Amino acid sequence: MTFGHDATGLRSETVRRANLSAIVTELHLHGGLTRSELVARTGLTRGAIRGLIRELTAAELVAEQPSRQRGVPGRPSPVVLPRGDRAVVLALEIAVDSLAAAIVGLGGEVQRLVRTDRPRGHLEPDAIVDDLRRLARPLLAQVGADDLLIGAGMAVVGVVRSDDGLVHTAPNLGWTDVPLAGMVARALGVRAPVVVANEADLGGLAEHRRGAARGFDDVLYISGEVGVGGGIIAGGRPLAGASGYAGEVGHLPVNPAGTRCRCGSTGCWETEVGERAILARARANLRGGGRAMDRVLEDAAAGSPAAVDALRITGEWLGIGLAGLVNVLNPRLVVLGGLIGRIHPFVAGEVERAIATRTLSPARRDLRVVPAALGIDAPLLGAAEHAFEPLLADPATWVSPQDRALQLRSA
């Protein structure tokens, strides 16, 4: 069962929009392709590609360079490059114990990236937004007035409504109903749209576009920080749910006889595989945060029985939750990020075993479980991808009518 259509009428202008979108998306994802490669990938004719590239060049979204590729017969095809120097986004992140900002260009190149430590614990929204402003200001100053700031994307450790970027709850920050998108837009003074989404959702998006899940259409990304979050790619696109809250795997009930969760429920997955659960099993300092966790991992690597045992039990619970999710979502790839990615080497066996005994055999046959490739910056990069989305979906908005008129006159 793979289908579904949008029952909306198309106009011939729509075709151009869709084709521009196809080209810009290909270039953004692959970083640079020859015209003839674009012909092959999009299925369009050379003539059509030529016209579209000309428009994108006029809009300064792409640039052409003489071919690099040598050694093949035939006239060389010029390379079309996304202009990451002209079309950029601002990416922001509020993580558990850091804040980050980056300027990312079309094509995915990270121009600048800054990250600062943040004390754990609750902090007023205004204070954090102000910190972000200070972090982002020098980066924004670097963006020229002529450059195209497509938008700003933001990753937050919290439950975010997709419509308007309202942070509904963020237990790690002590936030409830914070209209973050609007606050950040005002603080930065940028006119470009600000989009906010959950950290794990964006981490999954980044791993899908540029990390371990590249090329896979059905992916489950699990991100462990203090809590546990998930990002789902289904059929090549992020699974948002009705209001953008999908992927909250941390509160999957796996152990009704278990311990109380901070969400009010009992036996949530997070209570078994979250940071606190691991520290408790390893009899480490529960308030030690990241440092204590580093210690546990070092001990486990050194063979300490307490640490190894703590991770082994955690791995079993990790596998139980994953098995359920695999049965429900049938992904081709599971990507483990954050803390869960770090413990992966120690728990791979337990996870494999749990999946082997608890999932339907066909669903597990082609399944692979791998650690994340992008590390700590995954959510930040995902925020950039999120911010680029309007441009990829409809570049025509940025291809000004003046450009087209000018170009037609000169032709």
Interface residues with DNA (CB under 7 A) are: 9-13, 15-16, 19, 34-36, 39, 43-52, 66-67, 70-78
Nearest CB to DNA, comparing residues 34 and 271: 34
d(CA 112, CA 154): 16
**Residue 72 binds which of a copy of itself, DNA, none (CB < 5-8 A, kind-dependent):** DNA
β-strands 148-156, 87-94 pairing: parallel
Q: Is 201 in the site for a copy of itself (CB under 8 A)?
A: yes
Considering only residues 32, 36, 48, 67, which one is a binding residue for a copy of itself as defined by CB under 8 A?
Answer: 48
Nearest CB to a copy of itself, comparing residues 270 and 377: 270
Q: How far is the CB of 82 from a copy of itself (least distance, A)?
A: 14
| CA max distance for the chain | 77
Q: Are 97 and 157 in contact (CB under 8 A)?
A: no
| Residues in the chain, total | 411
Nearest CB to a copy of itself, comparing residues 250 and 293: 250
Q: How far is the CB of 395 from DNA (least distance, A)?
A: 12
* Identity of residue 345: P
User: 180-188 and 125-142 are packed helices; what angle lies between their axes, rounded to 10 degrees?
Assistant: 50
Q: How far is the CB of 174 from a copy of itself (least distance, A)?
A: 16
Q: How far is the CB of 60 from DNA (least distance, A)?
A: 18
Q: Is 104 in the site for a copy of itself (CB under 8 A)?
A: no
**Consecutive H or E run containing 276:** helix 275-281
> CA–CA distance from 148 to each of 64, 67, 90, 151, 378 (Å)?
18, 26, 11, 9, 24
β-strands 98-105, 87-94 pairing: antiparallel
Stretch that binds a copy of itself, among 7-15, 64-72, 89-97, 372-380 (CB under 8 A): 7-15
User: Percentage helix, strand, coil, to 5, in the chain?
Assistant: 45, 20, 35
How far does the chain reach from its first CA to its final CA, in angstroms? 48
Q: Which of residues 208-237 bind a copy of itself (CB under 8 A)?
A: 217-218, 230, 232, 234-237
d(CA 141, CA 122): 30
Q: Which of residues 275-334 bind a copy of itself (CB under 8 A)?
A: 320-321, 323-325, 327-332
Q: Is 10 in the site for a copy of itself (CB under 8 A)?
A: yes
Nearest CB to a copy of itself, comparing residues 15 and 114: 15
**Residue 25 binds which of DNA, a copy of itself, none (CB < 5-8 A, kind-dependent):** a copy of itself
Give SS3 for 167: strand
What are the φ/ψ torsions at residue 336 (nearest 5 degrees)? -105, 120
Nearest CB to DNA, comparing residues 19 and 172: 19
* Identity of residue 80: V
Q: How far is the CB of 39 from DNA (least distance, A)?
A: 6
261: DSSP letter: P
**Residue 36 binds which of DNA, a copy of itself, none (CB < 5-8 A, kind-dependent):** DNA
d(CA 382, CA 200): 9
Q: Which of residues 346-405 bind a copy of itself (CB under 8 A)?
A: 357-363, 366, 386, 389, 392-393
Considering only residues 32, 179, 253, 290, which one is a binding residue for a copy of itself as defined by CB under 8 A?
Answer: 253
* Per-residue contact flags (x/-) with a copy of itself for residues 160 to 179, judged by CB under 8 A: -xx-----xx----------
Nearest CB to a copy of itself, comparing residues 135 and 200: 200
- Which region, left, alpha or beta, applies to residue 247 given φ > 0 means left and ψ of -120 to 50 means alpha? left
Stretch that binds a copy of itself, among 16-24, 74-82, 134-142, 305-313 (CB under 8 A): 16-24
